[in-house]
Amino acid sequence: GVIPINDIFYPHWNHQHSIFLPYGSYGSGKSIFISDDLINKCRTNEYFRCFYGRKVLDKVRESQHQTFVDRLKDLRVAHEFDFSEKPNGTMVIIHRRTGNKFIPFGGDNAESMKGIK
């Protein structure tokens, strides 16, 4: 499916920059654009791993994980992914066709960072 994006971010859609630091004021659409771009890469790239996290692992569920899940639903591509919305469920999000993944980590939990390849 087609993923609509804000015109201001179009030059950065599907970018391959080593470092990309978007900036702007609150409500400028940065989080939505970044989520949509990463979801698109997860769906289309041959190999994709996104490690997403925060200082405290428990905070990931209510922020980044929920943003990804909300965007999967809004974009009507949730059926392509395996994920959990349970309060104690896994926060790994897997694209069924490609096996590409979003993997959570927390800076407070060394175990969650050991398997990063």
| pLDDT, tens digit (0-9, with 9 covering 90-100), for 19-58 | 666 666 676 677 888 899 899 999 999 999 988 888 888 7
DSSP-derived pairing of the beta strands 101-106 and 49-54 = parallel
Return d(Cα 92, Cα 101) in angstroms, integer: 7
Return d(Cα 59, Cα 65) in angstroms, integer: 9
Per the CB < 8 A criterion, the answer to whether 97 and 103 are in contact is: no
Return d(Cα 105, Cα 30) in angstroms, integer: 21
Per the CB < 8 A criterion, the answer to whether 39 and 67 are in contact is: no
pLDDT-above-90 percentage for the chain: 41
Per the CB < 8 A criterion, the answer to whether 86 and 34 are in contact is: no
* Higher-scoring residue by pLDDT: 54, 114: 54
Q: Which band of pLDDT confidence, cut at 50, 70 and 90, is reported for residue 95?
A: very high
